[in-house]
């Protein structure tokens, strides 16, 4: 029987594979399988198709080449491939160091392919020749590994020594900023940055960004509970089994009382006077503006029913249903309301629907001079004030009528945080 030609085989392989991909794609989607799983299955089928096509190629003698011939053919090809990788990686947003890495691996590929097509080595001419080659092999491996370990990014052990020589945190005699600095040290020593960002610092989204979540708004007891008994309450958006297990449970044993107190002091500084707190696991995040649970809690505060803010009742002036009970009180139903002109820092020409988060916060925490709107931020925990603001917005922008969530604000930078301090946006002198 005559063997089939490549074309005959390809005519069978390609349609069968594509049909299989289509079945996986549409059938899997209909069966409710996860898109990631479908992508992987389709990928495996396509890779198998390529393998099948390559195996269908009729046998040809391998053309071995000298090093020069090899490079002559492959260098132009690798230049084109490297250029494509560079541009595509750049477009995808990879920083330059990763672009360099990808191109370097393309060059490793060039090395492999040169080696594969290289002319068969001549046998050793004698033992001396064999020894030279042997030493060459060991030298190649050694130089390769030494160069790799020498060229990858290094650290200076002096910094670790410095950390190791620091005394343990003891709070006696320390005050304010020193305690916060000690807490920062505890945070670093216990490698909290491995899972938590603090605003711009850190690089893992395994746990909540404690800066944008504004963990500092919460009570000390709650923060301590989160450290010592992390399984008790899970941060919104981190309810998946992997996240539930992620936070270690041994800090009760590991942290001394002083260390815990210092750590909590540091965590209490994590607040953002310019944005609503952000919840959820990257990239599925949302702000409190759009959090139904927060809005419910905000309603309780707004209507004066929250025990933690006893004495605060927004509804007394602004109305339970948003209809102001007092002349001059802000009407939250009117989305076109301007900012008050009674304050020196007023923001002219911006309607309430477009007010930045920081303006809401400022007006509530600092009040409006000459009006019954008191600086509530000096009296009540800001956690509840943010919640009440989130609820107040629903009078002109009801949750069920929103077409889309408010965008998650960009993560504040080091400069932003410095600015909050210099501009005195925090009421707390320590921040």
Partner 1 sequence: MDSSRTLQNKPLLFKIILVLLFVYGLAHLAPQPVSSISGIWGPSSALAQDDEFEEFDEFEEEEEGEEEGGDEEASAEGEEGEAAEGEEEEDLSYLTDIGPAKDHEFEPYSFMGLSNRKFTWAAAQLHILFASFILGCPMFVVIMEVMGARRTQGVRKAIILANVFLGILIGVVIGITGEIIVGIHHGVLYGLWACAFAALIVSFLNYFHRLMNVKAAAVVGGIFGTVIAIPLTPVEHIEVSGVILAIINGVVGGVLSNMIMFAKSDFKFERLAHEITKVIGMCYSFTALTGGLFLFVMLVLYQDFITYLVANFPVLFLVAYPTLFILETIVMYIYVYSWDPLNQANKKGRHIVCGVFLNILGLTLLCALDGPATFMQTPPKPLDELANMGEWSKIATSTWMPLNYHRLVGNGTFGGYMVGVIGAYMYLWSNKREEKEYYDWVGYMGNNIGVAIMIPLPAMGYIYVREIYEYDATIGMYIMSDRESMFMLVQGLLVGTMFSASNIYMWVSMKRIENAQRFFPAMKFGFILIVISATIWFTPRRFFATMMPEPGMNPDMVLPDNLAFLALMISKNTAAFALVTVTFINYIFYTIATKTGKVHYGKINPLGIYVLIFLGFADIWLMSWMGTIRELSRMNWHVYKVFKDVTPEKFAPTLAESGFHVTTIVWTFFIIMTATIWLAIKYPKSKKKSESIPAQTAPQMAE
Please, what is the minimum distance in Å from the beta carbon of residue 272 to partner 1? 18
Which residue's entry shows tokens 């396509």? Answer: 46
Lookup: tokens for 430: 């320590």
Residue 338 class from Cβ within 10 Å (0-12 exposed, 13-18 middle, 19+ buried)? middle
**In this structure, what are the phi and psi dihedrals at residue 65, rounded to the nearest 5 degrees?**
-130, 160
Q: Around Cβ 279, how many Cβ atoms within 10 Å?
A: 22
Chain Cα centroid distance, residue 332: 34
Residues 331 and 322: beta-carbon distance below 8 Å: yes
Please, what is the minimum distance in Å from the beta carbon of residue 201 to partner 1? 7
Please, what is the minimum distance in Å from the beta carbon of residue 197 to partner 1? 9
Question: Considering beta carbons, is residue 285 or 365 the nearer one to partner 1?
Answer: 285
Closest to 387 measured CA to CA, from 281, 303, 268: 303
Closest to 328 measured CA to CA, from 298, 337, 358: 337
Please state the length of the chain.
Answer: 431
DSSP letters for 355-366: --HHHHHHHHHH
Lookup: tokens for 237: 């958006």
CA pair distance 402, 280, nearest whole angstrom: 19
CA pair distance 361, 353, nearest whole angstrom: 15
Number of C-alpha atoms within 13 angstroms, CB side, residue 299? 12
Helix (H) or strand (E) holding 200: none
Residues 376 and 391: beta-carbon distance below 8 Å: no
CA pair distance 255, 228, nearest whole angstrom: 9
CA distances for 302 relative to 204, 294, 329, 385, 390, angstroms: 36, 12, 14, 9, 10
Chain Cα centroid distance, residue 208: 9
Please, what is the minimum distance in Å from the beta carbon of residue 33 to partner 1? 17
Lookup: tokens for 282: 């990257």
CA pair distance 252, 190, nearest whole angstrom: 12
Which residue's entry shows tokens 């053309």? Answer: 63
CA pair distance 412, 212, nearest whole angstrom: 8
Question: Considering beta carbons, is residue 2 or 60 the nearer one to partner 1?
Answer: 60
């Amino acid at each position: 029987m005559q063997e089939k030609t490549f074309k005959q085989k390809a005519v069978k392989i390609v349609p069968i594979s594509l049909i299989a991909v289509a079945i996986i794609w549409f059938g899997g989607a209909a069966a409710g399988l996860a898109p990631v799983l479908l992508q992987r299955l389709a990928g495996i089928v396509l890779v198998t198709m390529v393998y099948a096509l390559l195996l269908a190629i009729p046998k040809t003698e391998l053309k071995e080449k000298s090093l020069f011939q090899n490079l002559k053919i492959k260098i132009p090809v690798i230049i084109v491939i490297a250029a494509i990788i560079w541009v595509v990686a750049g477009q995808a947003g990879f920083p330059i160091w990763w672009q360099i890495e990808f191109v370097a691996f393309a060059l490793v590929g060039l090395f492999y392919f040169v080696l594969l097509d290289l002319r068969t080595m001549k046998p050793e001419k004698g033992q001396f020749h064999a020894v030279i080659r042997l030493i060459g092999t060991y030298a190649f491996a050694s130089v390769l590994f030494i160069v790799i370990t020498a060229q990858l990014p290094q650290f200076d052990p002096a910094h670790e020594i410095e950390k190791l020589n620091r005394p343990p945190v003891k709070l006696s005699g320390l005050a304010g900023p020193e305690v916060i600095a000690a807490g920062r040290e505890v945070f670093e020593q216990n490698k909290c940055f491995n899972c938590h960002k603090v605003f711009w610092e850190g690089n893992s989204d395994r746990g909540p960004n404690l800066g944008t979540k504004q963990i500092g708004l919460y009570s000390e007891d709650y923060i301590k509970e989160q450290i010592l008994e992390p399984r008790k309450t899970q941060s919104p958006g981190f309810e998946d089994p992997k996240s539930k297990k992620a936070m270690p449970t041994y800090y009760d044993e590991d942290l001394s009382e002083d260390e815990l107190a210092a750590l909590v002091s540091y965590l209490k500084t994590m607040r953002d006077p310019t944005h609503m707190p952000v919840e959820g696991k990257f990239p599925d995040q949302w702000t409190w503006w759009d959090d139904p649970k927060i809005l419910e809690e905000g309603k309780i505060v707004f209507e004066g029913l929250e025990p933690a803010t006893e004495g605060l009742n927004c509804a007394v002036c602004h109305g339970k249903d948003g209809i102001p009970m007092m002349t001059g009180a802000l009407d939250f139903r009117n989305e076109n309301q301007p900012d008050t002109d009674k304050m020196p820092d007023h923001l002219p020409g911006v309607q309430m629907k477009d007010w930045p988060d920081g303006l809401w916060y400022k007006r509530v925490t600092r009040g409006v001079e000459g009006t019954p709107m008191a600086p509530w931020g000096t009296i009540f925990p800001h956690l509840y004030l943010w919640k009440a603001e989130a609820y107040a917005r629903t009078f002109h922008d009801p949750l069920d009528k929103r077409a889309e969530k408010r965008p998650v604000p960009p993560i504040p930078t080091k400069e932003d945080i410095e600015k909050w301090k210099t501009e005195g946006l925090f009421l707390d002198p320590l921040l």
